[in-house]
Amino acid sequence: MALDIKFLQQEVLDQYMADDDNRPWIIGFSGGKDSTMLLQLVWATIAKIEPILRTRPIYVVCNDTLVENPKIAQFIRITLKNIQDEAVKQSIPLTVHETTPKLEESFWVNLIGKGYPTPNNTFRWCTERLKINPTTEFIKSKISEIGEVIILLGTRSAESVNRAKSIKKHEVKGERLRKHVLPNAYVFALIKDVETKEVWEYLLQNNPGWGGSNRALVTLYNNATGGDCPLVIDDTTPSCGNSRFGCWVCTVVKKDKSMAALIDNGEEWMEPLADFRDMLQENRNNREWRDTKRRGSYIENPDGWGPYLEEKRAYMLKVLLEAQKEVQKTEPELVLINSQELVGIQVTWHRDSLFRFSVADIYNEVYGTNLQAHDFDVKDVFEKDTLKEVFVDETDYNLINELLEVQQSRYIMVNNYGLQHDLENHLEHYVRTK
């Protein structure tokens, strides 16, 4: 049975014009084929409605994990700008919103700062922190502001058995909308019954309403030979399969086929990224990389697997910055780790009483700069000179200074929970090593 585009657009029209207090639409947009088809169908339908009747607000939400495949991230940034610009020109009641993880939940602060082992199938800490939480917070804010929302997702039953089961479990027979796991949120899965080949046929035969064509998207898929990650808004939404566009540091899969294919198809500048990812993959279960104590504890457990050792975290940061410096020769605007994350790493090291390595020193070594520790360090609560006048003993001065940095780290990370525990741990460490 051929795909009935007119039927799908009528579904959009009926739902958009429904008398339901103009509950806003939130469209999950990942930049991949499915979410692009979904947004195109919505756009084409809304564009035919008289401007005076376009009263329902539409929020296009795209999640940036901050470790997206750079080639895909670049493509999505351009696409989102075109969408927003054209929405204004065409009087489409649509605004674009990008969500990102909180600093303390970002990939590099967790991996290099806290020493979390790289994700795998048994400890996939990344999905919730990088994807679910940021988008969920946006949806919750709209629910709190407006009351109820309708979430449009490009999920399709044909994508996987698990996805089909999830859609079937939550749908209500005879109803367009199904309940979402969040209270006062509903899901409109417009293209759930569309086959993969039908998605491509539609995209190749229909240009997006925001201008241009889908040729660049098709080229990306051809070069990467992979699928796209859906916008993940709960743990029932599949994160990424074995062949996907996603985070370039992903170690859940043994080999990043999409990045390897991009490199083979002319994107050789991405090789340092692939090498870094492979290094993480190879050393995840390397005993020499892992501590025998849990974070925040000084109790040895020889049979346990703790976080990455302090020196290994510093080493990973150095290699990451070296990779960034190398790719910037070809892509000068590309940033693999931003300045806030560098500060977050230094803050986290101090909070965990790790003072052997300085982010500024590592950065200077790689880039040949002369940045000072305070450029990445915790801002002083008191002037250091005053402290030195009060504490003649340098050891006591260092202890008080470090405790102040531990305290201030909580303020910078906007998380005061556990401050007393952190201070007590640092004092215990001081007593043990004195």
Checking if the pLDDT of 17 tops 90, the result is yes
Give pLDDT tens digits for 389-432: 444 566 655 665 565 555 555 544 545 444 455 555 655 555 55
* Gap between the Cα atoms of 60 and 190, Å rounded: 15
Q: Which of 74-78, 139-143, 258-262, 312-316 is predicted with the least confidence, judged by mean pLDDT?
A: 258-262
Q: Which two tokens stand for residue 37?
A: 């088809």
Name the nearest CA neighbour of 115 among 2, 283, 254.
Answer: 283
Give pLDDT tens digits for 350-386: 888 888 999 999 999 999 988 877 666 554 433 444 4
* Gap between the Cα atoms of 311 and 290, Å rounded: 10
% of the chain at pLDDT higher than 70 = 75
Q: How confident is the model at residue 254 (pLDDT cuts 50, 70, 90)?
A: confident
Say if residues 320 and 336 touch (Cβ distance below 8 Å).
Answer: yes
Overall average pLDDT of the 51-60 stretch: 96
Phi, psi for residue 280 in degrees, rounded to 5: -65, -45
Per-residue confidence (pLDDT) for residue 86, from 0 to 100? 97
Higher pLDDT, 348 or 88: 88
Angle between helices 310-327 and 359-367 (to 10 degrees): 30
Q: How confident is the model at residue 235 (pLDDT cuts 50, 70, 90)?
A: low
% of the chain at pLDDT higher than 90 = 58
Per-residue confidence (pLDDT) for residue 275, from 0 to 100? 96
Higher pLDDT, 221 or 295: 221
Per-residue confidence (pLDDT) for residue 298, from 0 to 100? 61
Checking if the pLDDT of 176 tops 60, the result is yes
Say if residues 43 and 108 touch (Cβ distance below 8 Å).
Answer: no
Per-residue confidence (pLDDT) for residue 393, from 0 to 100? 60
pLDDT, the chain, mean: 83
Say if residues 73 and 30 touch (Cβ distance below 8 Å).
Answer: no
Q: How confident is the model at residue 232 (pLDDT cuts 50, 70, 90)?
A: low
Give pLDDT tens digits for 206-229: 999 999 999 999 888 887 764 555
